[in-house]
A and B are shown apart, each in its own frame.
Chain A
């Protein structure tokens, strides 16, 4: 099976712009989660989507949003970019399961640099 893929891998934007990142989960996985990784804050949970519905949400401002499509692919959007949004954005997918604690399989990440 192909792993989790994320596009693009690298991105440079300027302050005030918006950006959309894409994630394709492992075939058959219905849960997709997004994380932000920075040197200062470490790995932080953004949100999780399951069957096109947001199931969990982290403590990020409303500028961060996401969605999931019927084929389980997911996108996250960041509007009005700030310098502090520079980070590695990781997507992870999980097998179907409603009880939680499913193993998450991570993609290689999208590295976003905001100038």
Chain B
């Protein structure tokens, strides 16, 4: 069975500071890993996706994530936070059979001016 753990349900950062969101996964097969963002009253928008082509994955809006197999981690970072980054972020994993996504609990990011 696959599972995803996101450390910290809430993160507060100052505008211009580093954003670091932690994600650890458990999967019995090589996983596909995703980060999605959800703005209030909206659906989920894909930030980036890991498919084993490269361990450092660059996404939209300046976000990137690094896949570390030895740590079973896929942490999301952005060097400089912007007010528009305030949202909820979800890490997700899927396996090789079908498109079932297993999500972490989400991390809500607050950006302080």
Contacts and interface: CB of A to CB of B under 8 A. Distances in A.
B46 A33 contact: no
Interface in B71-113: 90, 92, 94-106
A43 interface: yes
A103 B43 contact: no
A33 B43 contact: no
B101 A104 contact: yes
Interface in A12-55: 31, 33, 35, 42-45, 48, 50, 55
A93 B44 CA distance: 12
A56 B99 CA distance: 8
A65 to B, nearest CB: 17
Interface in A78-115: 90, 92, 94, 99-109
A42 B105 contact: yes
B98 A55 contact: yes
Q: Which 4 A-B pairs have the closest CB atoms?
A: A101-B32, A106-B43, A43-B103, A106-B44
